[in-house]
A and B are shown apart, each in its own frame.
Chain A
Amino acid sequence: AQSVTQPDIHITVSEGASLELRCNYSYGATPYLFWYVQSPGQGLQLLLKYFSGDTLVQGIKGFEAEFKRSQSSFNLRKPSVHWSDAAEYFCAVGASSASKIIFGSGTRLSIRP
Chain B
Amino acid sequence: SQQGEEDPQALSIQEGENATMNCSYKTSINNLQWYRQNSGRGLVHLILIRSNEREKHSGRLRVTLDTSKKSSSLLITASRAADTASYFCATAVGYSSASKIIFGSGTRLSIRP
A binds B: no
**Which residues in B have some Cβ–Cβ distance to A below 8 Å?**
none
